[in-house]
Amino acid sequence: MTRTFIHGGTVVSATGSQPLDVLVDGETVVAVLHPGSTALGADLAAAADRVLDATGKYVIPGGVDGHTHMQMPFGGTEASDTFATGTRAAAWGGTTTIVDFVVQKPGERVQDTLGSWHQKAAGQCAVDYGFHQIIGEVDDESLKGMSELVAEGVTSFKLFMAYPGVFYSTDGQILRAMQSAAGLGALLMMHAENGIAIDVLVEQALARGDTAPYFHGTTRPWQMEEEATHRAIMLAQLTGAPLYVVHVSAGQALAQIATARDAGQNVFGETCPQYLYLSLEEHLAAPGFEGAKWVCSTPLRSRAEGHQEELWRYLRTGDVATVSTDHCPFCMKDQKDMGIGDFSKIPNGIGGVEHRMDLMFQGVQSGQISLERWVEVCCTTPARMFGMYPRKGVISPGADADIVIYDPRGHTSIGLGKTHHMNMDYSAYEGFEIDGHVDTVLSRGRVIVDDGAYLGSIGHGRFVKRQLSQNLI
């Protein structure tokens, strides 16, 4: 097995930062040592097969993106990144583990859909991966299947209060699924928007001739997200189910989550970089059909209403538990342009799996969050939330050697022809300039990105059989 010695860097964890050296043997971290330590011998560098100099740089756990959609069928098309292209892009950006969503459609057994997603991903991924299960049809068969999936390492289940006729679950169905999740100790994930009311607003907008991408945002107002979030919290309180609200974009919805957490309830909020950096006015309102690039649900919010600052504040207080990407990319040509003349037909999704670590480090540079909080929300808490800790999300003896050497003095220019490796014909973050750079990425001890070169391979990534959430109160 290859022995790798990383020296000279500052190891950053969720609880602190200090100069430390890291010794990797094969796929595993075997020691984290103070510089100059002779506990394992006088000259670890000489005894190593490979030495990585991290002087002046941060050594952090590989990123864990707990919310991606590779090859997801949606709106008459399919997300443009395959497991091969999407996980390769993740690697470039310092993310070494993703958790993707298996989709159950009405009439399908959850066990069968899990099998089909295993077939999609097996032998295709550049980094490690796990699965959540979307329950598209809550019935006796699906509820029974939940226990079988937990035994197979799929320990979180997603429901939708949006998209009637596609994924939508009634309150009664949500209640039943939460009861099952509570009994299993599984995590219930929720897309919280009032889809019934939103559909009325969409119908009214189109009847008025309001067809541009901008109206995707105005027909999904923050009140629809706050109301659904509150309703989900109340159902979770009644059933005792732990609740994880995905892609929260409205400050008011996060206020509901904060109140529940203050009362001791197992409720967790996730947000995404697009809600911290992008806005309704600047992006969805772009001229012509350009705004389609940023159509996603929940939608981008108004900067004038202060949602972005509220999300940063809740990140600092801990009420936002994790930052994921909701990576669900579609190209403008032949995909997003399906909605020309009718915003409701634009496939919902933004690609960002490659840029999350950089974008959130920009929050460190601007003083919005601490260095340790960066690692906590992007690496450690996602690993704990989704039952992969301490194998993932930490640099400690016994952990997988998923490690990123990050240069705070480096620079990253985001955009097509620059750092774009996702299978998309545009970048949602075109022109962003990041003070920081992913220099080296190790996945289970193997160097897969180094000094501007991709050294990974399809099939290196393995399925992670997850435990129950380790982040509950």
Taking only the tens place, the pLDDT of each residue in 395-429 is 999 999 999 999 999 999 999 988 899 999 999 99
- For the stretch 361-371, pLDDT in tens is 999 999 999 99
Per-residue pLDDT, averaged over 436-445, amounts to 98
pLDDT (0 to 100) of residue 29: 98
Mean pLDDT calculated for residue range 242-255: 98
Q: Which two tokens stand for residue 396?
A: 């400690």
Q: What is the mean pLDDT of residues 346-358?
A: 97
Integer Cα distance of 439 and 93 in angstroms: 9
Between CA 72 and CA 79 the distance in angstroms is 5
pLDDT score of 41 more than 80: no
Q: Return the pLDDT at 106.
A: 82
Could you count the other beta carbons within 10 Å of the beta carbon of residue 147?
A: 12
CA dihedral 203, 204, 207, 212 (to 10 degrees): -80
What average pLDDT score do residues 332-337 get? 97
**pLDDT-based confidence at 54, cuts 50/70/90?**
very high
Mean pLDDT for the stretch of residues 179-193: 98
* Residue 74 confidence (pLDDT): 86
Q: State the chain's mean pLDDT as an integer.
A: 97
pLDDT digits (tens, 9 = 90+) for 129-158: 999 999 999 999 999 999 999 999 999 999
Distances 273 to 262, 285, 422, 448 between C-alpha atoms, Å: 25, 19, 16, 24
Nearest-CA neighbor of 273 among 187, 339, 359, 358? 359
pLDDT at 175: 98
- Binned at pLDDT 50, 70 and 90, residue 105 comes out as confident
DSSP-based three-state secondary structure for 436? strand
In the chain, what percentage of residues exceed pLDDT 90?
A: 95
Q: How confident is the model at residue 380 (pLDDT cuts 50, 70, 90)?
A: very high
d(CA 271, CA 181): 23
Per-residue pLDDT at 321: 98
Instruction: Provide the pLDDT confidence category of residue 357 given band limits of 50, 70 and 90.
Output: very high
- What mean pLDDT comes out for the span 268-278? 98
Cα–Cα–Cα angle for 37, 39, 45, rounded to 5 degrees: 60
CB 7 within 8 A of CB 54: yes
pLDDT at 107: 87
* Beta-ladder partners of 126: none
Contact 421, 269 (CB under 8 A): no
> Sign of the CA dihedral 114, 117, 123, 124?
negative
Confidence of residue 42 (pLDDT cuts 50, 70, 90): low
> How many H helices and E strands in the chain?
14, 21
Let me know: does 28 contact 445? Beta carbons within 8 Å. yes
Residues above pLDDT 70, as percent of the chain: 100
Torsion from C-alpha of 415, 418, 419, 422, nearest 10 degrees: 60
Give the pLDDT confidence of 235-246 residue by residue, as tens digits: 999 999 999 999
Distance CA 165, CA 168 (A): 6
pLDDT of residue 23: 96
Provide the 3-class DSSP secondary structure of residue 174.
helix
Q: What is the mean pLDDT of residues 170-182?
A: 98
Q: Is the pTM of this model over 0.85?
A: yes
